[in-house]
């Protein structure tokens, strides 16, 4: 080689693998060095991986790599990546592993789960979970999917049942919040904590509470009894009443159909109420509506219903000459009484 110019040497026919030896002058002496050990300005190309490696004198040193007209990957092997300045990316930014083919740009794809993207509209941003877009929404995995949409100051939520990976998604809107603060839901609004509900304290009022914390519908078993002595037996197929509870107020209705009696004496009482009546006067006192037929001779044509605080029963009386009096003695077989009442629960 000493007698030949470089231009006269035979051209290499295979790519360099890093093991080739070159002569260099180091400290005034000619030495040999392997091609793989050449590091001009601390930059080398790894022959095995094909990755451009940049080495620096310390971990805090800034490395700058500029690669024109080429696809490349920059990775630090000793720590996380840090980007300084404005970064411009055209296409899909994939964070973690993702193999899903998006048909649009402006996407941050977080792998098998979530993706943030913009559907080519300045007033919209969308977040997908277990979904990607390629001519339409498609499942990433064999699971359900969710979609959160921000559009023109409004917010919309969508869901989809479990589907197969890469299959089309049929979205169903589950709720929305417009840019005026109005919310709509397509399912039930479920209060998960007892004692919580809808708070109306923003509206003017002088009440002790403006929290609507309960709503309930159901049935209860109507029972009737004379308060002093004797007994009243009802037909069991007619003794189911209904009730509705809104907040603290309970509305009950029922039907008394008497099968037989045994010397009933005193006030006629209705028991079995679904909620106890609140204690204290006068808030625990009130009245209801009642009507009846087939009473024994001597009963007046007017009936009245009332209740007392902390007494879990209703009283049905007869009314005559401006006064209430006991009704139980006028109850007989086949007497029918209909009633309804609204009272505050304890």
pLDDT tens, 214-269? 999 999 999 999 999 999 999 999 999 999 999 999 999 999 999 999 999 999 99
Mention every residue, 6+ apart, whose C-beta is less than 8 A from residue 261: 230, 231, 232, 233, 331, 332, 333
Top-confidence residue, 254 or 59: 254
Cα end-to-end distance, the chain, whole Å: 108
CB-facing half-sphere around the CA of 43: CA atoms within 13 A: 8
**Structure-model confidence comparison of residues 58 and 172, the more confident one:** 172
Q: How much is the pLDDT for 6?
A: 72
The predicted structure's pLDDT at residue 11: 81
Chain length of the chain = 346
Residue 235 has a pLDDT of: 98
Those residues whose C-beta lies under 8 Å from the C-beta of residue 108, and which sit 6 or more positions away, are: 92, 93, 95, 115, 116, 117
According to the per-residue pLDDT averaged within each range, which of 253-262, 295-304, 308-317 is highest? 253-262
Q: Per residue in 141-189, pLDDT tens?
A: 999 999 999 999 999 999 999 999 999 999 999 999 999 999 999 989 8
What integer is the mean pLDDT of 9-18? Answer: 76
Distance CA 19, CA 22 (A): 10
pLDDT, mean of residues 200-221: 91
Higher pLDDT, 41 or 212: 212
Q: Are 248 and 345 in contact (CB under 8 A)?
A: yes
Exposed / middle / buried, residue 255 (Cβ in 10 Å: 0-12, 13-18, 19+): middle
Cα–Cα dist 100/132, whole Å:
7
Please give the mean pLDDT across all residues of the chain.
85
Provide the whole-model pTM. 0.65
Tell me the per-residue pLDDT of 95-150, one tens digit each, with 9 for 90 and over. Answer: 766 678 888 778 899 888 899 988 877 788 999 999 999 999 999 999 999 999 99
Q: Given this model, what pLDDT does residue 336 score?
A: 97
Of 16-30, 32-46, 186-200, 331-345, the poorest mean pLDDT is in 32-46
- pLDDT the model gives residue 115: 93
Classified as helix, coil or strand, 173 is strand
Residue 150: the pLDDT is 95
pLDDT tier, 342 (very low <50, low <70, confident <90, very high otherwise): very high
């Amino acid at each position: 080689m000493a007698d030949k110019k470089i231009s006269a040497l035979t051209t290499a026919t295979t790519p360099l693998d890093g093991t080739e030896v070159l002569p260099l002058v180091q400290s005034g002496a000619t030495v040999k060095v392997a091609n793989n050990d050449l590091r001009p300005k601390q930059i080398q190309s790894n022959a095995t991986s094909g990755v451009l490696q940049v080495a620096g004198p310390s971990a805090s040193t800034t490395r700058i790599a500029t690669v024109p007209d080429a696809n490349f990957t920059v990775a630090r092997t000793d720590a996380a990546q840090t980007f300084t300045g404005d970064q411009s990316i055209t296409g899909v930014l994939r964070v973690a592993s993702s193999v899903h083919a998006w048909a649009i740009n402006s996407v941050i794809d977080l792998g098998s789960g979530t993706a943030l993207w913009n559907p080519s509209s300045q007033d919209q941003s969308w977040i997908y979970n277990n979904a990607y877009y390629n001519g339409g929404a498609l499942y990433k995995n064999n699971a359900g999917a969710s979609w959160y949409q921000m559009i023109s100051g409004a917010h919309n939520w969508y869901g989809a049942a479990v589907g197969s990976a890469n299959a089309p998604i049929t979205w169903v809107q589950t709720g929305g919040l417009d840019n005026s603060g109005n919310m709509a839901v397509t399912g039930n609004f479920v209060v998960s904590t007892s004692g919580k509900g809808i708070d109306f304290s923003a509206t003017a009022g002088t009440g002790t509470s403006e929290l609507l914390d309960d709503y309930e519908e159901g049935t209860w078993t109507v029972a009737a009894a004379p308060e002093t002595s004797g007994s009243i037996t009802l037909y069991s197929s007619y003794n189911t009443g209904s009730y509705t509870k809104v907040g603290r107020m309970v509305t009950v209705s029922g039907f008394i159909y008497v099968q037989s009696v045994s010397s009933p004496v005193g006030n006629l009482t209705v028991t079995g109420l679904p909620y106890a009546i609140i204690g204290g006067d006068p808030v625990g006192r009130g009245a209801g509506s009642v009507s009846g037929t087939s009473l024994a001779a001597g009963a007046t044509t007017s009936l009245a219903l009332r209740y007392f605080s902390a007494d879990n029963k209703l009283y049905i009386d007869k009314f005559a000459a401006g006064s209430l009096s006991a009704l139980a003695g006028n109850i007989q077989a086949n007497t029918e009484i209909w009633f309804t009442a609204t009272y505050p629960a304890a």
